[in-house]
């Protein structure tokens, strides 16, 4: 089979880490006899610089016509201290999510034996934690309207909106993933305060009987924020709305101690996007020191989720595991031992797969 991949490397370390992922995906298709057609396009600060738009129309067209999008990272420090900037890289991200209908952001959180000591949590609490966060990505307060100011500028408002259909789509996904895993689904909301959360709960409870083998629990978001730290192993699949998901998935990502290793997939109506959860890490850009593993593992998710190629995905994971065992790692996880460069890690993974 031939797959079309849109490559959106973006800002900072984006180009370097995506280059390593391509070495790996090339090695995979060579081995398994598939074909990949890559087309690069602009996104983020670099797109603002070149065409004045962080998610240009040509980029969108390309994504719409691709089987998957491999995404690096976006963001540049010159925007961080300038809240007044009219055009910002994040707007590109939000536009992409909305236009591609990327309704579900999936973030597996798991630990790596050789990195567990880097977790801020005590080892016994986090060792063996293995769960999947599913965040609704195109609804809620991120996109609800009206949003703005009253005429006098002295009052601001945002609107959180969810339709039953939006909720059903993502909650079903939660049930389905739970079915493929340890059959436990945690639905996180704030139903004791929010009308949208009460609709989430109503829709979820309506769907529940269709999945009798899944154990469902409803948890308030404040409680979830605590349980992620005090007892992360209790979770299997967690599903939640956009804003809560933004907070909880980032919280979840640091407990493993392996931020540089965590991939994500954003499942869309039109296509799906695969990207590391870490940012554009501008201080490291161009230095060939960034950890490419999160992007490489995002490519593994691409084979599995976008193309249904499970063996291909599994081999990539195996390669990453072996590279950790072999100590072929970048400085962020080298722990005083020899640190390899971004491209050396990429080469090692490519070789392993070949």
Ligand X SMILES: CC(C)[C@H](C(=O)O)[C@@H](O)C(=O)O
Which entry of 57, 80, 250, 335 is annotated as an active-site residue? 250
Residue 251 binds which one of ligand X, its own copies, none, with CB within 5 to 8 A depending on kind? its own copies
Active site annotation includes 38: no
Strand partners, 215: 184
**Footprint of its own copies (CB under 8 A):** 83, 88, 90, 94, 120-122, 125, 141-142, 144, 147-149, 154-165, 190-196, 198-199, 201, 221-223, 225-226, 229-230, 243-244, 246-248, 250-251, 253-255
- Alpha carbons 255 and 112: distance in angstroms, whole number: 12
Task: Single out the segment in contact with ligand X by CB under 6 A; choices: 87-95, 224-232, 233-241, 253-261.
Answer: 87-95
Binder among 51, 85, 164, 193 for ligand X (CB under 6 A) = 193
Residue 161 binds which one of ligand X, its own copies, none, with CB within 5 to 8 A depending on kind? its own copies
- Nearest alpha carbon to residue 309 among 34, 69, 98: 34
Are the C-beta atoms of 305 and 102 separated by less than 8 Å? no
Strand partners, 35: 2
- Toward ligand X, which CB reaches closer, 103 or 348? 103
Question: Helix, strand, or coil here: 134?
Answer: strand
Active site annotation includes 130: no
Which entry of 3, 103, 142, 340 is annotated as an active-site residue? 142
- Alpha carbons 32 and 226: distance in angstroms, whole number: 44
Interacting residues of 46 by C-beta distance below 8 A, sequence separation 6+: 10, 11
- Alpha carbons 49 and 71: distance in angstroms, whole number: 18
Question: Does residue 158 touch ligand X according to CB under 6 A?
Answer: no
Which entry of 190, 236, 340, 352 is annotated as an active-site residue? 190
How many residues in total does the chain contain? 354
Residues 225-254 touching ligand X, rule: CB under 6 A, are: 246
Q: 184-189 and 237-240: which strand pairing?
A: parallel
Question: Does residue 93 touch ligand X according to CB under 6 A?
Answer: yes
Active site annotation includes 180: no
Which amino acids are annotated catalytic? 142, 190, 222, 246, 250
């Amino acid at each position: 089979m031939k797959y079309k991949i849109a490559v959106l490397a973006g800002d900072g370390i984006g180009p370097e880490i995506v280059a390593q992922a391509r070495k790996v995906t090339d090695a995979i298709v060579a081995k398994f006899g598939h074909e990949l057609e890559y087309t690069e396009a602009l996104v983020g600060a670099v797109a603002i610089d070149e065409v004045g738009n962080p998610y240009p129309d040509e980029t969108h067209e390309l994504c719409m016509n691709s089987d998957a999008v491999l995404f690096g990272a976006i963001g540049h420090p010159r925007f961080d201290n300038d809240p007044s900037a009219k055009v910002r890289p994040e707007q590109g991200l939000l536009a992409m999510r909305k236009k591609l209908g990327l309704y579900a952001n999936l973030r597996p959180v798991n630990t790596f034996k050789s990195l567990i000591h880097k977790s801020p949590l005590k080892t016994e609490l986090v060792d063996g934690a293995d769960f999947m966060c599913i965040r609704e990505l195109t609804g809620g307060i991120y996109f609800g309207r009206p949003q703005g100011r009253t005429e006098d500028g002295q009052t601001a408002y945002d609107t959180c909106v969810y339709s039953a259909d939006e909720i059903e789509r993502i909650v079903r996904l939660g049930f389905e993933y739970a079915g493929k895993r340890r059959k436990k689904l945690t639905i996180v909301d704030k139903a004791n305060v929010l009308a949208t959360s009460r609709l989430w709960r109503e829709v979820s409870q309506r769907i529940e009987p269709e999945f009798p083998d899944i154990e469902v629990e409803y948890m308030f978001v404040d409680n979830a924020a605590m349980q992620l730290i005090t007892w992360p192993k209790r979770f299997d699949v967690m599903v939640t709305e956009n804003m809560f998901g933004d907070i909880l998935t980032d919280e979840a990502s640091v407990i493993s101690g392996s931020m540089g290793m965590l991939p994500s997939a954003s499942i869309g109506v039109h296509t799906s996007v695969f990207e590391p959860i870490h940012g554009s890490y501008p201080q490291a850009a161009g230095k060939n020191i960034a950890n490419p593993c999160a992007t490489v593992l995002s490519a593994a998710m691409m084979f599995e989720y976008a193309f249904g190629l499970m063996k291909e995905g599994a081999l990539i994971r195996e390669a990453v595991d072996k590279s950790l065992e072999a100590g072929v790692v970048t400085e962020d996880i080298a722990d005083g031992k020899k640190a390899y460069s971004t491209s050396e890690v990429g080469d090692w993974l490519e070789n392993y797969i070949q």
